[in-house]
Amino acid sequence: MKSFIIATLAASAVALSEIESSFLSFISEYGRNYGSLEEYSHRLAQFVRTHREIEEHNGKQSSFKLGHNKFSDWTIEEYEALLKAKPDDDVTFNASVAQVAVVGDAEPIDWRTKGVVNPIKDQGACGSCWAFSANAAVEGAWAIKTGTLYDLSQQFLMDCNHLSACRGCSGGAPSSSYVFLEKNYHVEQSAYPYTAEDGTCQSDSKPHTDVITTGYKSVTYNKPDLMKDQLAIQPLSVFVDGSSAAFRTYSSGIFNDPDCGVFMNHCTDVVGWGIEGDVEFWIMRNSWGTSWGEKGYMRLEIIKGAGVCGIHKQAQYPIV
């Protein structure tokens, strides 16, 4: 018995040593600089938890893989602080729904290949996903209409849009941005850079573009065929549930995690859809940098109802 215990402890020590070696590589890759041994130990503990989640999933048969990314040393509380999206209430959403019938003949499309989608961005440790989602949808719609792809400022929306749903790093809704942009010309990123912090509005001192909206519309709740029809025209802003460990550590493949909920706490964009084998999938653009997912993107299986992670619940698009 004693020799068994010693062997077990030795095996555990070797396993932890291998994980800590991976952690040191992670520190180097992501430029981490912990200020104390206590902080190092704390972050190592988060990394170990993440590593074991990844290993457990990847050891099973699945259509998607998990992997380390910038969140690997974050606590669950730090990660959840990012998930600050504020979906429209039912009355507001229903009033914005476009009353159209399903056409049903949409072909797969990827707007990334058509010059209307900017490179992936990173919101940092700020709950500003709503501003990134709104901008990507506006940038795409404007580029499709005019041929000009702007790189628009998230900070402008965060600092200057004070409509009820928008609270900077504390969350917001793309729809409020579309309403705000009906009366306010947008500003480019180069003129109003992103800081990942709340700030005061500096709109008056910045040069504005000609980008403006005339409102927005929503796709009928839980109607993936209608989403496909609208995607033939322009990208969509969407809400998803980003709470699950699998969502946080998604690396590649077609995501269909049954444990992903449908609580709308994160805003992203759908920039296309495709088919692999006999499986249809959405092409979802995130705002967590290129270390997350497939260089910043996720493919989610298209299913009936609310969709994987609730992606069918509130799909919206600006009118430009």
Query: Which of 188-198 are b and which e, b meaning 16 or more Cβ less than 10 Å from the residue's Cβ?
Result: bbeebebeeee
In terms of Cα–Cα distance, which of 307, 320, 319, 215 is closest to 270? 307
- In DSSP notation, 38-56 reads HHHHHHHHHHHHHHHHHHH
Judge whether 266 counts as a catalytic residue: yes
Judge whether 162 counts as a catalytic residue: no
Cα 313 from chain centre: 15
Identify whether the C-beta of residue 176 lies closer than 8 Å to the C-beta of residue 166: yes
Which of 266, 267, 309, 312 is labelled catalytic?
266
Which of 129, 160, 166, 260 is labelled catalytic?
129
Measured CA to CA in angstroms, residue 320 lies from 113, 137, 147, 179, 253 at distances of 21, 10, 13, 11, 34
Which of 135, 286, 309, 312 is labelled catalytic?
286
Judge whether 135 counts as a catalytic residue: no
Rounded to whole angstroms, how far apart are CA atoms 270 and 188?
22
Catalytic residues: 129, 266, 286
